[in-house]
Amino acid sequence: NAGVTQTPKFQVLKTGQSMTLQCAQDMNHEYMSWYRQDPGMGLRLIHYSVGAGITDQGEVPNGYNVSRSTTEDFPLRLLSAAPSQTSVYFCASSYSWTGGSHEQYFGPGTRLTVT
């Protein structure tokens, strides 16, 4: 299994540009989530999904959109990038939403810089 994969690994955007960060998992996990990691702030939850067609907001959702059309994919969209969105973005997944261990598996991250 490839586990959780993310693309791209690095990205530079100009203020106002849009882009989509890709996340995929091949473990048939129901639960997927996006985090951002900033120095001194730790990891903060942006959006999450408990299954295809179901998404919800986390702690810092403003400026980001998500959708979940398949079990495998959970893209994160920045509609109009701002310098405050400069961060490292991690996608994570876990097997079961309702019960089970909920052990989380993380992707390698996308390092985004907005100028």
Partner 1 sequence: KQEVTQIPAALSVPEGENLVLNCSFTDSAIYNLQWFRQDPGKGLTSLLLIQSSQREQTSGRLNASLDKSSGRSTLYIAASQPGDSATYLCAVRPSTSYDKVIFGPGTSLSVIP
Binding site for partner 1 (CB under 8 A): 31, 33, 35, 40, 42-45, 48, 50, 56, 58-59, 90, 92, 97, 101-109, 111
Q: Of 17 and 71, which CB lies nearer to partner 1 in the complex structure?
A: 71
Tokens at residue 37, please?
Answer: 């990691």
Q: Of 14 and 39, which CB lies nearer to partner 1 in the complex structure?
A: 39
Q: Of 21 and 109, which CB lies nearer to partner 1 in the complex structure?
A: 109
Tokens at residue 108, please?
Answer: 């390698």
Q: How far apart are CA 45 and CA 42, in angstroms?
A: 10
CB 96 within 8 A of CB 84: no
